[in-house]
């Protein structure tokens, strides 16, 4: 909990149903009491409709309350069951801020049109004083059945909350928080200084339209008023932009933690992205979106980039690092999917299945074995021996192939795979050639006319790596001449941004050529794995400060934050920063409970866990250190 509280203690008036809890208590009581009743769903829906009309200010509250009570068939035993249920339905942000509620209980009141019988047992568990709970009360018969509502309680009448708050005679600032129109009326009457429309559980447009502020959580309310809170920032204020139809698991991961997420199916060009990335803190992309220096210059709040794929060549990693933006990818999540596509295409092409299938679709029955071969005993040559190449090597060897590879970096071979010294040697000996290189500029047209000329006649050629590593015109000519007997291509120098664009290529219509629309990693399993893996890294960075797995950032794997506040200081990699930080800590008598430092060529990353007692002046001193790129606090 932060100790920084700048405002004099205001009174906080909190609604209960759909605010303090996620549900409407009376609606849930009806559902419990009518369990097994043949018309349960219809009655519960009628009560819910009346509740919504009252909350939206569309009908007299008093009339709606009486109609709901008339529909309700419940007794004390049902209320006890409801209380147990409501204890599991306390709004997440109120649960997180239990300490604030306890420490500030003298200033907090619950004013609700619900009922004390189920509100008091729930609210008091989070530190609310029982005598600070104002709500309606049921009337019961001698058997404990609910027969009505206490008519003498002002909260059972129209304008009841106004009458109740007026009777409290509170002096000073009064802030009202709730999801209903009756909560807004506290501000309209002049009794509350500000009204916060609470939208963590339900959004009522009519109520939101009249609010001073829309509080997506209790954290948001506390943040707006610079009060102590369980989180250093309300996540609803952190904008996440997900492009290129990333897996829904990613969307869920961010939404479940309360982030403000925008989901876009297609890619964006540079001009579009320069505009859309403003005020975005996290962006998720796949392979078609290019994050250039110009894009990064327009990213005024960007803290992290997630590449929902293996490659990161579409991102200016160096510029991102200089701006203190961490980049994470999924180096292994779709490896198996790409390998299986490569194996499948290899077998299909070497058997000439594509040609046979096309003929049969035209009614031609050609059962000849000419030009059809087994992969067993053939030489597979892989250009690149990274995570995909090594796994393909193992599978291919299991199929009985001889495996060779060329890589500019020294790699330890798996199984019986053999490394050759030059690309030219690999091309000359291979029956099947598969590309597995990264997208760096130096690999542009790595395979062109010269390289195809060096290959065996009738070679099978696969490119499932990057589109620009192969000269497409040279490949098309090699297919037409028969030098390449079959080709499988999944990536292209120029690819459509969306499914609505026409795909153009010299390879279209060529015999025994399998063209796929960049789907090497597009299996449900791979995309779901990526959809879980990349957000987990991004969230760990945002929530904990850990940068482990980043491709451009000093890698630090941090312990979970416990009973401290965490300072994250990103700075230019110049001498003396840590000394300046320690001087500021010493001068301000700050107790350090943990300290971590890692640097790379461009930046340094210092993480310091400190005791909670500090001043804003101390924080400003840390921010003002020369060379500071970005500063964050977590707690």
User: What span, in angstroms and rounded, lies between the C-alpha atoms of 298 and 315?
Assistant: 14
Quick: pLDDT tens for 315-335: 999 999 999 999 999 988 889
Quick: pLDDT tens for 435-494: 999 888 889 999 999 999 999 999 999 999 999 999 999 999 999 999 999 999 999 999
Residue 6: pLDDT over 70: no
User: What span, in angstroms and rounded, lies between the C-alpha atoms of 51 and 29?
Assistant: 13
User: What span, in angstroms and rounded, lies between the C-alpha atoms of 321 and 296?
Assistant: 11
Mind telling me the catalytic residues? 466, 495, 518
pLDDT above 70: percentage of residues in the chain? 98
For residue 562, the model assigns a pLDDT of 83
Quick: pLDDT tens for 484-521: 999 999 999 998 877 888 999 999 999 999 999 999 98
Residue 56: pLDDT over 80: no
Higher per-residue pLDDT: 92 or 6: 92
For residue 3, the model assigns a pLDDT of 41
Confidence of residue 53 (pLDDT cuts 50, 70, 90): confident
Quick: pLDDT tens for 10-26: 999 999 999 999 999 98
Residue 573: pLDDT over 50: yes
Structure tokens at 39: 């018309």
Those residues whose C-beta lies under 8 Å from the C-beta of residue 133, and which sit 6 or more positions away, are 109, 110, 112, 116, 119, 120, 123, 124
Confidence of residue 7 (pLDDT cuts 50, 70, 90): very low
The 3-state DSSP class for residue 197 equals strand
**8 A C-beta contact, residue 305 and residue 327:** yes
Those residues whose C-beta lies under 8 Å from the C-beta of residue 530, and which sit 6 or more positions away, are 246, 247, 250, 308, 309, 330, 333, 334, 521
Quick: pLDDT tens for 383-432: 999 989 999 999 999 999 999 999 988 888 899 999 999 999 999 999 99
Confidence of residue 553 (pLDDT cuts 50, 70, 90): very high
Residue 65: pLDDT over 80: no
Closest CA to 468 of 493, 450, 441: 493
Could you give the angle at which helices 61-71 and 40-55 cross, rounded to 10 degrees?
170
DSSP states of 551-619 as a string? SSS----PPPP-SSEEEEEEEES-TTHHHHHHHHHHHTTPPEEEEEEEE-SSEEEEEEEE-S---HHHH
| Structural domains of the chain ordered from first start | 11-225 (3.40.50.1000), 238-328 (3.40.50.720), 334-515 (3.40.50.720), 559-634 (3.30.70.260)
- What does the CA dihedral 64, 65, 69, 74 come to, rounded to 10 degrees? 130
Those residues whose C-beta lies under 8 Å from the C-beta of residue 287, and which sit 6 or more positions away, are 244, 309, 311, 314, 518
User: What span, in angstroms and rounded, lies between the C-alpha atoms of 317 and 39?
Assistant: 61
φ/ψ of residue 357, rounded to 5: -65, -45
Structure tokens at 58: 């569309």
For residue 8, the model assigns a pLDDT of 64
φ/ψ of residue 214, rounded to 5: -95, 115
**8 A C-beta contact, residue 194 and residue 177:** no
CA distances in angstroms from 216 to 12, 16, 153, 414, 558, listed in the order given: 16, 15, 31, 53, 29
Phi-psi region of 172 (alpha: psi -120 to 50; beta: other; left: phi over 0): left
Kindly report the three-state secondary structure assignment for every residue of 247-294.
Answer: CHHHHHHHHHCCCEEEECCCCCCHHHHHHHCCCCCEEEECCCCCECHH
Quick: pLDDT tens for 145-194: 998 889 899 998 989 999 999 999 999 999 999 999 999 999 999 999 99
Confidence of residue 131 (pLDDT cuts 50, 70, 90): very high
Mean pLDDT of the chain: 92
- What does the CA dihedral 200, 201, 205, 207 come to, rounded to 10 degrees? -80
Place of tokens 């948001």: 220
Average the pLDDT over 59-69 and give the result: 76
User: What span, in angstroms and rounded, lies between the C-alpha atoms of 464 and 395?
Assistant: 16
């Amino acid at each position: 909990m932060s100790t920084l509280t700048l405002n004099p203690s205001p009174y906080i008036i909190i609604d209960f149903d759909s605010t303090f809890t996620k549900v409407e208590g009376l609606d849930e009581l009806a559902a419990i009491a009518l369990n097994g009743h043949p018309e349960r769903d219809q009655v519960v829906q009628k009560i819910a409709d009346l509740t919504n009309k009252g909350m939206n200010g569309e009908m007299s509250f008093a009339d709606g309350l009486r109609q709901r009570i008339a529909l309700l068939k419940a007794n004390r035993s049902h209320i006890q069951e409801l209380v147990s249920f409501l204890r599991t339905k306390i709004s997440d942000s109120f649960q997180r801020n239990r300490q604030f509620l306890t420490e500030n209980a003298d200033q907090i009141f619950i004013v609700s049109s619900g009922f004390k019988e189920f509100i008091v047992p729930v609210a008091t568990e989070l530190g609310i004083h029982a005598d600070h709970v104002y709500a309606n009360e049921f009337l019961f018969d001698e058997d404990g059945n609910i027969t009505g509502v206490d008519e003498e309680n002002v909260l059972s009448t129209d304008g009841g909350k106004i009458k109740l708050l007026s009777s409290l005679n509170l002096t000073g600032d009064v802030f009202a928080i709730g999801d209903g129109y009756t909560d807004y009326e506290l501000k309209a009457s002049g009794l509350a200084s500000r009204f916060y429309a609470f939208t963590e559980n339900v959004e009522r447009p009519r109520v939101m339209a009249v609010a001073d502020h829309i509080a997506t959580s209790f954290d948001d309310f506390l943040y707006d008023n610079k009060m102590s809170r369980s989180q250093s920032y309300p996540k609803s204020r952190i904008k996440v932009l997900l492009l290129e139809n990333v897996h829904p698991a990613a969307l869920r991961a961010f939404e479940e933690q309360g982030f403000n997420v925008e989901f876009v199916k297609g890619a964006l060009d540079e001009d579009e992205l320069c505009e859309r990335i403003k005020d975005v803190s996290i962006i998720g992309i796949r392979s078609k979106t290019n994050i250039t220096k110009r894009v990064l210059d327009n990213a005024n709040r960007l803290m992290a980039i997630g590449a929902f794929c293996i490659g990161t060549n579409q991102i200016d990693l160096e510029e991102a690092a200089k701006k203190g933006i961490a980049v994470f990818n999924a180096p292994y999540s779709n490896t198996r999917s790409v390998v299986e596509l490569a194996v499948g295409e290899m077998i299909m092409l070497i058997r000439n299945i594509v040609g046979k299938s096309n003929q049969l679709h035209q009614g031609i029955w050609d059962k000849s074995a000419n030009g059809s071969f087994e992969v067993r005993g053939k030489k597979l040559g892989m250009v690149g021996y990274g995570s995909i190449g090594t796994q393909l090597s193992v599978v291919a060897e299991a199929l009985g192939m001889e495996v060779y590879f060329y890589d500019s970096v020294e790699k330890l071979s798996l199984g019986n795979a053999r490394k050759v010294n030059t690309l030219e040697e690999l091309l000359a000996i291979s029956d099947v050639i598969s590309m597995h290189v990264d997208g760096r500029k130096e690999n542009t047209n790595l395979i062109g006319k010269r390289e195809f000329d060096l290959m065996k006649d009738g070679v099978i050629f696969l490119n499932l790596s990057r589109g620009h590593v192969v000269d497409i015109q040279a490949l098309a000519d090699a297919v037409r001449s028969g030098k390449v007997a079959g080709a499988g291509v999944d990536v292209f120098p120029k690819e459509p941004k969306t499914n609505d664009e026409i795909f153009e290529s010299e390879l279209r219509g060529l015999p025994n050529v399998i063209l796929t629309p960049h789907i090497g990693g597009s299996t449900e399993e791979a995309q779901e794995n990526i959809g879980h893996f990349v957000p987990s890294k991004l969230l760990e960075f945002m929530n904990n400060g850990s940068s482990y797995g980043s491709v451009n950032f000093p890698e630090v794997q941090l312990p979970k934050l416990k009973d401290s506040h965490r300072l994250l200081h990103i700075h230019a990699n110049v001498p003396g920063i840590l000394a300046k930080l320690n001087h500021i800590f010493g001068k301000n008598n700050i107790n350090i409970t943990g300290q971590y430092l890692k640097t790379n060529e461009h930046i340094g990353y210092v993480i310091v866990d400190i005791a909670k007692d500090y001043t804003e002046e101390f924080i400003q001193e840390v921010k003002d250190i020369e060379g500071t790129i970005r500063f964050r606090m977590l707690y």
